[in-house]
Chains A and B, each alone.
Chain A
Amino acid sequence: MSDHVVPVRVYLAVFAALMVLTGLTVAVWRMDLGVFATPVALGIAMLKAVLVILYFMHVKYNDKLTKLVAASGFFFLVILFGITILDYWARGRLNPETRLPGAVHLEDK
């Protein structure tokens, strides 16, 4: 279905949504939400990315195989982040001698 011609108004609607979300990103930054600031900023960024992927990159109209490959990049990204963060967080928990100087802060959070 990659031949699907998306109506122009869809692009304009997505553009408007992306502009509003960009404004919102700055607005929440200025409000200073404390511990929620980063999750909210990342949440908005992810929503924007999903809009671009689904509509501008036509994934919404693509076949399942393309959807799977598109998702796979993010799947492996989660593995990369997850295992590395877990490693830093867990270093030195069983044996303090294996602590990395850097891991202390992550652990103490």
Chain B
Amino acid sequence: MGMVIALIVIVAGSVVFQLASPWWTTPIASNWAQMDHTLTITVVITGIFFVVINLFVAYTLLRFRHRPGQRAAYQPDNHRLERWLIGVTTLGIVALLAPGLVVYADYVSPPRDALVLEVVGQQWQWRYRFAGAQGKLGFSDARFVSGANPFGLDPDDPSGADNVVVSGNEVHLPLNKPVKVLLRSHDVLHDFFVPEFRARMNIVPGQVSTFWFTPTRPGRFESMCAQLCGIGHPNMRGTVVVEDEPAFQAWLKTQPTFAALRAGAKPASAGQADSLEAKGRALAQTKGCVGCHSADGAPGAGPTWKGLYGRTEAYTDGSSVPVDESVLEREIREPQARVARGFANIMPRVDLTEDELHALVAYIKSLGAPPAPAPGTAQR
């Protein structure tokens, strides 16, 4: 009897949960409402099978459970019934698959007039690129990647010069215009995922993958990496801002071209900040430092910055020194030279100008445990 009750409670509970659960798809913000519809069709059809099979088993248990003197029927097969069941199941499968494939046919055919957005995933940050006035993306390859050229664009390809390069984790997109996303990585696998857009694709080094969608709702949306990419994976976050065309164009104008970037223009995301600490904080985001170093004491792949400044840090080579500005600068410039005890030697060399280095160090200093004696230090 326990099993009969359990099955009935499971069926009833699952159906109620489905109807009343606070957790369901995020409000859609793209053209892929059809994906939600195929999801609904699938929930209904599979739900019917789930309820019928489980209740049938529950009823069978109730009716045919062992009683003294009872004997089972002898019926080793029933071909007619089996054929019927195969038929009904096949119908159900076709009803699931057909709409799914129709939607998918759309998914693999991006519109020709789509705006092309390139997303570059790197452990553990995002960068973006738009074609410039000529409308062509310049050639790129991992061998061109350097601190000054994080996009890996071919400096000798003239069509790359006017490409608009976005160095921060935030990108803007125009409302109601189809976007074809080209995905590129120079290190490992990533996946550009915004739940509200539904559409997504993995990013594979050595090739360009692609998907498309049309943003249909203005707002700020969180993007995240959804393919395990190492220790900083959960901190690989970005933002997609969907806004009307004029606002998008205005934003696009504030972003440097590749030519300007090479000539030394500062990325806008870091340049807007007023105080040194705020600038350092923005840099920690854009350069991906936060992938490993938390600001609140949470454990990470690298030492937390909270309380780091002023503390005496022990190193794997047995030495230990109190952390001051010069130590921080050296650690950032030569990360592989010496490694804090308890951590792996995985920190990449990040290309920073002197000004940026000072800003970053000032930010880390502001998180120090014994507040720096100098007055006026910004606190979080």
The reply to whether chain A is a binding partner of chain B is no
Instruction: Please give the residue numbers on chain A whose beta carbons come within 8 Å of chain B beta carbons, in ascending order.
Output: none
